[in-house]
């Protein structure tokens, strides 16, 4: 019996540009690795199954981040999407949440994005490529089960944008 071949494709997004800090210098993206492979399954993160996550208990955010941050998704064919989450363990402490919690937060944001945009209207000016990505999200080709968080990019002082890949069968 032939084993199904799979490949991962990065979901295209334009990077967020802050109107208040257009000259923001991007730090290096933070990568997510599980058992030696790049990418955290969004589905596994939602279930809390992150045992093989590299540096899972290490604090993620630097001291310059406030108590809340925004996660942003700018997927083709959809309106921009942003959700605020806690970046600190508690209001009274300056200790950052761990990498594991960041992966769970991103998974929650991606799930909410897919639920919110499932029946959203097409944006004016959507091109053919945007339409194909949009259709893949809305018809079940792209689901929580086949999306992976590979990197997290800081796009402004308090905003982060996940870099996502989708695993597809050949």
List pLDDT tens digits, range 53-78: 999 999 898 666 678 899 999 887 77
62: left (phi over 0), alpha (psi -120 to 50) or beta: beta
Reported as a pLDDT band with limits 50, 70 and 90, residue 25 is low
| Distance of alpha carbon 31 from alpha carbon 62, whole angstroms | 15
Instruction: Please indicate, yes or no, if residue 84 is contained in any of the structural domains.
Output: yes
Range of the domain at 116: 6-169
pTM for the model stands at: 0.85
Asked if residue 1 is part of any domain, the answer here is no
Residue 103, domain member (yes or no): yes
Residue 61 DSSP label: S
* Alpha carbon distance 159, 73 (integer Å): 11
For residue 114, the model assigns a pLDDT of 85
pLDDT in the model for residue 127:
55
The Cα-based distances of 62 to 6, 105, 134 in angstroms read: 36, 17, 34
Retrieve residue 33's tokens.
């690795």
SS3 21: coil
At 155 the three-state DSSP class reads strand
pLDDT at 128 over 60: no
Q: How confident is the model at residue 51 (pLDDT cuts 50, 70, 90)?
A: very high
Number of domains in the chain: 1
Q: pLDDT-derived band of residue 15, with 50, 70 and 90 as boundaries?
A: confident
User: Does any domain span residue 123?
Assistant: yes
Cα→Cα distances 32→57, 68, 79, 95, 135, Å: 13, 21, 26, 20, 27
Q: Give the pLDDT mean for 118-146.
A: 65
Of residues 95 and 33, more confidently modeled: 33
What pLDDT sits at residue 132?
62
Q: Is residue 141 part of a domain?
A: yes
pLDDT at 79 over 90: no
Residue 107 has pLDDT above 70, yes or no: yes
Q: What is the DSSP letter of 114?
A: H
Of 102, 110, 61, 103, the residue nearest 81 (C-alpha)? 110
Averaged pLDDT for residues 87-111: 87
pLDDT of 6 over the 90 cut: no
Q: Is 43 contained in some domain?
A: yes
């Amino acid at each position: 019996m032939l084993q199904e071949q799979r490949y991962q494709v990065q979901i295209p997004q334009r990077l967020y540009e802050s109107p208040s800090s257009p000259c923001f210098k991007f730090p290096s993206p933070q990568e997510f690795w599980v058992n030696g492979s790049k990418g955290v399954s969004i589905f596994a993160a939602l279930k809390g199954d992150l045992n093989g996550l590299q540096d899972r208990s290490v604090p993620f955010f630097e001291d310059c981040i406030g108590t809340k941050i925004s996660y942003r998704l700018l997927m083709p064919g959809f309106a921009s999407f942003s959700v605020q989450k806690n970046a600190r363990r508690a209001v009274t402490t300056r200790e950052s949440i761990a990498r594991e919690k960041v992966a769970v937060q991103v998974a929650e944001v991606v799930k909410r994005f897919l639920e919110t945009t499932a029946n959203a209207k097409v944006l004016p000016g959507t091109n053919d490529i945007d339409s194909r990505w949009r259709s893949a999200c809305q018809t079940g080709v792209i689901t929580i089960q086949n999306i992976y968080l590979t990197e997290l990019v800081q796009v402004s002082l308090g905003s982060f944008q996940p870099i996502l890949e989708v695993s597809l069968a050949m």
